Amino acid sequence: MKRLAGVLGTLCLVLLLLAFDERGAEQAFHVVRGGVDRAKVLLSRNAAPPAPATRGVVLMGRFEPVDQGATGEVTGAVELVGAEIRFETAGTLRTQPHRIAYGREPFLSGLKAAPTDQIELRRVVPAKAQDAVSASPACAGEAPGWIALLPRGDRLDLMVFRQGPPPGTTASDRALCGTYVYEGR
């Protein structure tokens, strides 16, 4: 019984790691294959910190415009900090996650994404002290309602949509108000 409890406990631990960190779960799985004792070492406080993730993308950091002309003049650099998208010259947009869209969806054709590329779609919400979203140069001087983010390695493609229904539902082609390309530094 103790042996079964140990195996089940280790399996639960691996599944918990998988829920939080795919790379860490892979490491734990390989360690568990080698023995339960080594799994305890990996998870102990004295274990080395996990290696940086090589799969998956965390959307954060500073990105410079690829096209210094058009994009550089309109938005400047962009910094992703939590739920905020901070444009150097076009203000800050506060966002909430909406859903993951795929490159095959027609409203994302401007990104020239692969059909299986995952694009994070976020809703723009008013800043804490405001009742409505302010107009932004990033949306051709109108109030933005939606942001689509597509990370491609060090490159970040960003689409801005006007307020209204979520892109990809009943939104028309006129909902798109800006497309920008940045690269990480």
Query: Whole-angstrom Cα distance, residue 90 to residue 78?
Result: 9
- Report the pLDDT value the prediction gives residue 38, as an integer from 0 to 100: 42
Please return the burial class of 124, using the count of CB atoms within 10 Å of its CB with bins 0-12, 13-18 and 19+. Answer: buried
Percent of the chain with pLDDT over 90: 45
Report d(CA 142, CA 57) in Å as an integer. 30
The answer, yes or no, to whether residue 110 has pLDDT greater than 90, is no
Mean pLDDT of the chain: 79
Would the pTM count as exceeding 0.75? no
* Residues contacting 52, CB < 8 A, separation 6+: 23
For residue 47, pLDDT beyond 50: no
Burial of 91 (0-12, 13-18, 19+ CB in 10 A): middle
Q: Give the range among 14-18, 92-96, 136-140 with minimum mean pLDDT.
A: 14-18
CA distance 89 to 78: 9
11-23 mean pLDDT: 64
